[in-house]
Amino acid sequence: MYKANDKRYEKMIYNRCGKSGLKLPAISLGLWHNFGSNDVYGSMEEICTFAFDSGITHFDLANNYGPIPGMAELNFGRILDSALKPYRDELCISTKAGYEMWDGPYGCKNGSRKYLTASLDQSLKRMGLEYVDIFYHHVYDPETPLEETALALDSAVRQGKALYAGISNYSTSAAKEIAAIFRELKTPFIINQVEYSMLNRWIEDDGLKEFAQEAGFGLIAFSPLRQGLLTDKYIKEIPENSRVGKGNTWVGEEINEQLRAKLSRLSELAETRSQTLAQMALSWILRDGKVTSFIVGASRKQQLEDNIEAIRNSSFSPQELSEIDSILAK
């Protein structure tokens, strides 16, 4: 029977999520990949329990994670039941709805009250939970009034099915609009989950980092390693057993000699910091305190252990930051 590490909170860093009372670990575990229908259950359980033993309290899911939709939630429900359920009050469990999930007009990609309400009920059933800590609208839907989407998330909180509301993949303009509605409703809206990495800095150009601070909600970054590009594995070649080599990601098209030159120079800089390229890329996400947490996936315990080391050194000198910007601009 699983018993959690008594020292699990000693080394993890916890950051306040915006101006809310909730703190999230600097590194969160995402179940987008490696927790679905094609994966080994024993490995999933080992990764989740190792994460919790390391102080990672936040587990990020979505209704469509699979690749068969719902399978990641089903598998996480099994892990809760077999190992983590006694620690439920120490966990922050989030799920999302917004992308295609089931057949017909009510399960397609949207932000309607009908879809969000039904989806959350399904997610809770799959995981065997009475509530999730954060329920997100997964992707902005221009065809549904934001007021309807906000009311659906607010209703989930008021019904006790979620403690906090979140949004994902929302630009600054969309976030401003829905945040104003949440303020009027007094909804505990606390977070926007966005893609952010050294190779995808759109939230800086969009002004989202500054607006999040101004409005008082947190930011959590997914794909902080750009689907594995920000590692040493692609500098010289594409390994056959890698995600790109297997054709399991769309970012393989970005690999060229120019990118490899950038990655090589970044790796050399990381070495001067006693880090791997991946660790430096993750540390960089936290460099200015404007991002609450970043989400990593893992197929092996060792991979997660290596990523956790990134939070040990998230300080950068002005010279280092300038050099990173110079490398990325070329």
Task: Give residue 238's pLDDT band: very low, low, confident or very high (50, 70, 90).
Answer: low
pLDDT of residue 314 exceeding 70:
yes
Express each pLDDT in 294-303 by its tens digit: 999 999 999 9
**90 touches 129 (CB < 8 A):** no
pLDDT of residue 242 exceeding 60:
no
Express each pLDDT in 133-166 by its tens digit: 999 999 999 999 999 999 999 999 999 999 999 9
Express each pLDDT in 80-122 by its tens digit: 999 999 999 999 999 999 999 999 999 999 999 999 999 999 9
The rounded distance, in Å, linking the Cα atoms of 66 and 88 is 23
pLDDT of residue 225 exceeding 60:
yes
Who's near 48: CB < 8 A, 6+ residues apart? 29, 59, 76, 79, 83, 84
First to last CA, the chain: 53
Average pLDDT taken over every residue of the chain: 94
pLDDT of residue 252 exceeding 90:
no
Determine the average pLDDT of the residues in 254-271.
Answer: 91
SS (H, E, C) the chain: CCCCCCCCCCCCCEEECCCCCCEEECEEEECCCCCCCCCCHHHHHHHHHHHHHCCCCEEECCCCCCCCCCHHHHHHHHHHHHHHHHHHHHCEEEEEECCCCCCCCCCCCCCCHHHHHHHHHHHHHHHCCCCEEEEEECCCCCCCCHHHHHHHHHHHHHCCCEEEEEEECCCHHHHHHHHHHHHHHCCCEEEEEEECECCECHHHHHCHHHHHHHHCCEEEEECCCCCCCCCHHHCCCCCCCCCCCCCCCHHHHHCCHHHHHHHHHHHHHHHHCCCCHHHHHHHHHCCCCCCCEEEECCCCHHHHHHHHHHHHCCCCCHHHHHHHHHHHHC
Residue-range domains of the chain with CATH: 14-256+278-314 (3.20.20.100)
pTM: 0.94
Who's near 88: CB < 8 A, 6+ residues apart? 80
**203 touches 196 (CB < 8 A):** yes
Determine the pLDDT at residue 245.
47
**228 touches 197 (CB < 8 A):** no
The rounded distance, in Å, linking the Cα atoms of 222 and 192 is 11
pLDDT of residue 52 exceeding 60:
yes
- What is the token pair recorded at 211? 């607006």
List the one residue out of 210, 196, 206 whose CA is nearest residue 174.
206
Task: Give residue 248's pLDDT band: very low, low, confident or very high (50, 70, 90).
Answer: low
Q: Give percent above pLDDT 90 in the chain.
A: 89
pLDDT of residue 241 exceeding 80:
no
Q: Give percent above pLDDT 70 in the chain.
A: 95
